[in-house]
Amino acid sequence: MYSLLHGFYQYMVQKDEFCVLILGLDNAGKTTYLEAAKTKLTKNYQGINPGKITTTVGLNIGRIDVGGVQLNFWDLGGQSELQSLWDKYYEESHAVIYIVDSWDRERVDESKEIFDRMIANDNLQGVPLLVLANKQDLPECMGVREVKPIFNKNAHLVGKRDCMVMPVSALTGDGVDEGIKWLVDCIKRNAFARPPRNSEDP
């Protein structure tokens, strides 16, 4: 009887699990963003000092409960030699956060090229996409008005999926929770096409 009640309780409190990829070039601020998201949206979470965050080699994983669902974040290294591994994660993902270093104008074209290659992948078709113009706390950074047209040049690759370009500062946390809450709504709407992970379990 206990196991039956326990199983029912687990079923009732179980949250749908969705996987979100955090992609972008190295030094765009992906890991700092993930830490800011965990700090803002997880009660009593003590984040890593931004000054102690190092370049991701491989994968960082984070989990946040928000909007009645559980988001599992996969923060993938952005160095050119690691980008070839990104597509191994596409099929299992429910959304993508693509982070742009809006202060580094010299690498914007490179970031756009990688972005286009990513969204053209069939395994990401229809997946909600949040493009973040990061480092808005720095002087002379590009605002959304400047970043958005650059990343909208190949709108046909984006297609009819939910897509948003938003300003953010991973360092100060400004704009972090707004973007994630928008993404949660999109993921829920798209759940018929990409069901939560736990609903796929046998």
Residue with tokens 């994660």: 89
29 is in an annotated binding site: yes
Query: Active-site residue 79, yes or no?
Result: yes
Q: Is 191 annotated among the ligand-binding residues?
A: no
Is 30 among the annotated ligand-binding positions? Answer: yes
Annotated binding-site residue? 160: no
Which of 10, 46, 79, 83 is catalytic? The answer is 79
Confirm whether residue 31 is marked as ligand binding: yes
Q: Is 135 annotated as belonging to a binding site? A: yes
Ligand-binding annotation for 137, yes or no, is yes
One-letter amino acid of 42: T
- Candidates 48, 58, 22, 21; CA nearest to 134 is 22
Instruction: Return binding residues for Mg(2+).
Output: 31, 56
Instruction: Return binding residues.
Output: 24-31, 56, 78, 134-137
Instruction: Return binding residues for GTP.
Output: 24-31, 78, 134-137
Name the residues annotated as catalytic: 79
